[in-house]
A = this chain, B = another copy of it.
Amino acid sequence: MHTVDRPACELCQTTGGEVLHQAEQFRVVLIDDANYPGFCRLIWQDHVKEVTDLHEIDRMLMMDVLWQVETVVRDVIQPLKINLASFGNMVPHLHWHVIPRYADDAHFPAPVWAQAARTAPAEALAERKARLPALRMAMAEHLASYR
């Protein structure tokens, strides 16, 4: 079990966010980031470092799920742009960031890891946050067939 082998890995030890769907090989979580309502992560269940360390069939599953997550975030949150990233520098346990971006968000057009450029308007953030119940439902529905 990875939880025994990797006691120090945060993503082996914790869910890493609010679980929207848990399958045998992965989970999709919602990140509680005040600047980025709808920020999701796709986390591979096993402690694997790089995409190219996965068997092809697992890689295809993971990427299929990533496109499902992107699709649901686009449909429900309707961002200007989707940002995708897989780093794993701090936690070398395969996970993907799926981040809805807007022209008025805190860092646009820079990546969210850059210096903040502004404070996003509170009204816009509140409006985006109001879509989270719909995102939770849509994500669970779309991913239900992945056991």
Contacts and interface: CB of A to CB of B under 8 A. Distances in A.
A87 interface: yes
A89 B115 contact: no
A92 B84 CA distance: 13
When all copies of this chain in the complex are counted, the total is 2
A87 B82 CA distance: 7
Contact of A67 (B59, B90, B114, B115): B59
A79 B118 CA distance: 34
Chain A residues touching B, range: 20 to 34
A85 B82 contact: no
A58 interface: no
A134 interface: no
Given A51-B67, A52-B70, A70-B51, A110 B89 contact: yes
A2 to B, nearest CB: 18
A81 interface: yes
Contact of A85 (B49, B59, B83): B83
B88 A81 contact: yes
Given A67-B51, A81-B49, A111 B86 contact: no
A54 to B, nearest CB: 9
Interface in A63-84: 63, 67, 70-71, 74, 81-84
Contacts of A101: 87, 89
